[in-house]
Structure formats: C-alpha cells, structure tokens
Amino acid sequence: ILNVEQSPQSLHVQEGDSTNFTCSFPSSNFYALHWYRWETAKSPEALFVMTLNGDEKKKGRISATLNTKEGYSYLYIKGSQPEDSATYLCACPGAGNNRKLIWGLGTSLAVNP
C-alpha cells in the first residue's frame, strides 16, 4: 500500500523567514508527485505536478524539488508572508489503471506578521 508522509505536521515562522517541508513516498512504481495549497475557508489549489527525477518547479516565492530515487520532494517558500499561511498537501498516484491519488496529511504553516 502506497504511503505518503509529510513532515513536519505543523510549522510556525515569522514573516520574512524562508522555510521548507518534506513529502516522502515509496520510490518504486513512481508516477507523479502533486503539491497543493489549502487555505482556510477555501478549496485546495494545485501548485505543482512533478514527474521527473531532479525536476524543479517554481511559482512566485514557492518552489519544489523532486528526488524519485530516494522518494522525497521538498517544498520551499522564500520570504514567507502571512498570506502563505495554509496547509500544504502532497499526493502521489497509487497503483492500478486509474492511479487514484494517495494523500499525505499535510503540513500546516502559520506565518506570523
């Protein structure tokens, strides 16, 4: 059974700090890695879908890297702002024809002004 784990569970940083968190997944039978941001009272928003080992993607101050051989992805936020406060979820497609997403529990980020 595919297990997607995220760490830390929660994080508190000051405005302006840079931060990063981890998503771990089994390295065998890898298809893709998804990152989402889920702000309170809103719906989850897709950030990145990554498929290639060594992939690096960027969206504004947020970037992500992927290591499929060792089974992890890092999400980085440079110069955190209060509006970055959210839960960050990662997910991987499981086995089978439909590749249903298996979700991590998320990292809850709070950025203090």
Partner 1 sequence: DGGITQSPKYLFRKEGQNVTLSCEQNLNHDAMYWYRQDPGQGLRLIYYSQIVNDFQKGDIAEGYSVSREKKESFPLTVTSAQKNPTAFYLCAIIINPTIISNQPQHFGDGTRLSIL
Residues at the site binding partner 1, with contacts judged by CB under 8 A? 4, 31-32, 34, 36, 42-46, 49, 51, 89, 91, 93, 98-106
Nearer to partner 1, 80 or 108 (CB): 108
Nearer to partner 1, 13 or 49 (CB): 49
Nearer to partner 1, 62 or 80 (CB): 62
Three-class HEC string of the chain: CCCCEEECCEEEEECCCCEEEEEECCCCCCCCEEEEEECCCCCCEEEEEECCCCCEEEECCEEEEEECCCCEEEEEECCCCHHHCEEEEEEEECCCCCCCEEECCCEEEEEEC
Name the minimum Å distance from CB 40 to partner 1.
12
